[in-house]
Amino acid sequence: MQVRSPFLAIPLLSSLLLGVGAMSTLTGCSTPPVASAQAVSFDRAIHAATDTLFEQTQTLPMFLAKPGKQTVVLDPTLDADSGQQTVATQRIDRSLGERVRKAPQFDLLPFESGSMASAHYLLVGSIARAQGGYRLNFALLDIKTGLVVAQASALARQDGIDMKPLNYYRDSPVLTKDDTVEGYLRTTSTPTGKAGDATYLGRIAAGTAINEAATLYNAGRYADALAEYRKLHGTPAGNQIRVLNGIYLSSAKLGRAAEAEEAFGRLAAYGLKQKNLSVKFLFNPGSTEFWADPRLTSAYSMWLRQIARQASISKICMDIVGHSSKTGPEAANDTLSARRASLIRQKLTADSNDLASRTRTVGMGSRKNLVGSGTDDVVDAPDRRVDFTIVDCPA
């Protein structure tokens, strides 16, 4: 059987790796995601999943009824475990962009606010750790209806995948997975015929502006980035962690210490209101001492001061949960993470002693690693985080 593919270079690749099942006609039923059975090279997995995604569109009524090219925007791929953009997600986006441009049925538009009014489809993607490698998920949505018209998945081997975060995420004091990011990630694995996440789609216009601001930050244009983040913060959809985080980072890079502290206070308040705030404190391996490089740790006392202040204002009770990378024995990691949580609690209560009766510590060890590389560097920094989780106060 010959499988139709928009890419002549690998006409049978997607059918061999992923299988091509019955395509949805969006008549009210949904089609389970198409997934690969075995891990292949990273590039091959990207190509196979993309080909299968586009093959699904060839039988859809909206494509048959509208001959000619359809316009697509690509919302940049995210690491599903940390919510970050990384070197690997950038590589996925470059490959996706190239293959969209080569597809006879599509034109690729930049992910910018001006593109959303004219684009027909939205492409989203994620990469997540999976047994034997990394799982890639791609989904194509009809922008007007919010329905997923095609979804595909592939398993890539671990070799050659660089998960170092881009500058914005590397510098970020907190993990950026709020309800908007979580909604994006859910949408990447939503079955064909189902609606994408409502929170994510409702903020897609803000998402384009956030992406533009992050691009400016990654390029070192901090004043321009700050101006964009401030404009976003003045809109209803701009009240999200990526915007608050961007204001803090840009202010800090510009040496505006007072503005940076005020921005971090808003960031901490937002996280605590969401009932979870995950902060990346870098410790020396096997130690409760902060990382020796002051460029990375000089702001920690300010972070702790603002977390203590916001927690006191809110009159909340919280668990301070320490985490560690997977390096070393599990029992040692449990003890180490508990000691790190205790250190953070000690520093918080020194700033606001009323927190002594409203906080407790938990050592999670490496059981909830987000990266799991065990490299003890910037890649697995999210694994050495401290979570501030809101709990009910004792009666």
* CA proximity to 226, closest of 201, 254, 189, 207: 254
Provide the residue type at 346 as one letter.
Q
Residue 82, phi then psi, degrees to nearest 5? -115, -15
Residues 22 and 159 in one domain: yes
pLDDT of residue 63: 65
Domain end call among 163, 188, 206: 163
User: Residues with Cβ < 8 Å from 7, sequence gap 6 or more?
Assistant: 47, 51, 99, 102, 103
Residues 27 and 150 in one domain: yes
Q: What is the DSSP letter of 255?
A: T
**Is residue 328 one of the residues assigned to a domain?**
yes
**Is residue 35 one of the residues assigned to a domain?**
yes
Separation between Cα atoms, residue 90 and residue 95, nearest integer Å? 9
Other CB atoms within a 10 A radius of the CB of residue 72 amount to 26
* CA proximity to 381, closest of 79, 100, 126: 79
Domain end call among 121, 136, 163: 163
- Tokens for 20, please give them: 């091509």
User: Residues with Cβ < 8 Å from 219, sequence gap 6 or more?
Assistant: none
**Is residue 195 one of the residues assigned to a domain?**
no
Provide the residue type at 234 as one letter.
G
Q: Domain of 38? A: 13-163
Residues 17 and 153 in one domain: yes
**Is residue 340 one of the residues assigned to a domain?**
yes
pLDDT of residue 57: 85
pLDDT of residue 94: 97
Q: Within 13 Å, how many C-alpha atoms sit on residue 112's CB side?
A: 7
Provide the residue type at 5 as one letter.
S
pLDDT of residue 62: 67
Rg (CA), the chain: 22
Domain end call among 130, 163, 196: 163
CATH code, domain carrying 57: 3.40.50
Residues 279 and 146 in one domain: no
**Is residue 116 one of the residues assigned to a domain?**
yes
Residue spans of beta strands (DSSP E) within 35-166: 70-74, 78-79, 106-109, 121-130, 133-142, 148-156
Is residue 177 packed enough to be buried (19+ CB in 10 Å), middle (13-18) or exposed (0-12)? buried
User: What total number of domains does the chain contain?
Assistant: 2
pLDDT of residue 324: 87
Residues 17 and 158 in one domain: yes
Residue 141, phi then psi, degrees to nearest 5? -120, 145
Separation between Cα atoms, residue 62 and residue 57, nearest integer Å? 9
**Is residue 247 one of the residues assigned to a domain?**
no
Q: Within 13 Å, how many C-alpha atoms sit on residue 127's CB side?
A: 27
**Is residue 270 one of the residues assigned to a domain?**
no
CATH code, domain carrying 339: 3.30.1330.60
pLDDT of residue 326: 84
Angle at 166 between CA 245 and CA 190, to 5 degrees: 80
pTM: 0.83
Dihedral angle of Cα 89, 82, 221, 72, to the nearest 10 degrees: 40
DSSP bridge pairs for 147:
195
**Is residue 173 one of the residues assigned to a domain?**
no
Task: Please say whether the dihedral angle defined by the alpha carbons of residues 261, 391, 171 and 338, taken in this order, is positive or negative.
Answer: positive
Contact status, residue 263 vs residue 303, Cβ threshold 8 Å: no
Residues 159 and 281 in one domain: no
Element of type H or E holding 247:
helix 241-253
Residues 159 and 279 in one domain: no
- State the 10-residue block means of pLDDT for the chain, 395 residues long: 33 34 36 62 95 86 70 96 94 95 90 90 95 93 95 94 91 88 97 96 94 95 97 90 95 97 95 90 85 85 96 94 87 93 96 94 89 72 86 87
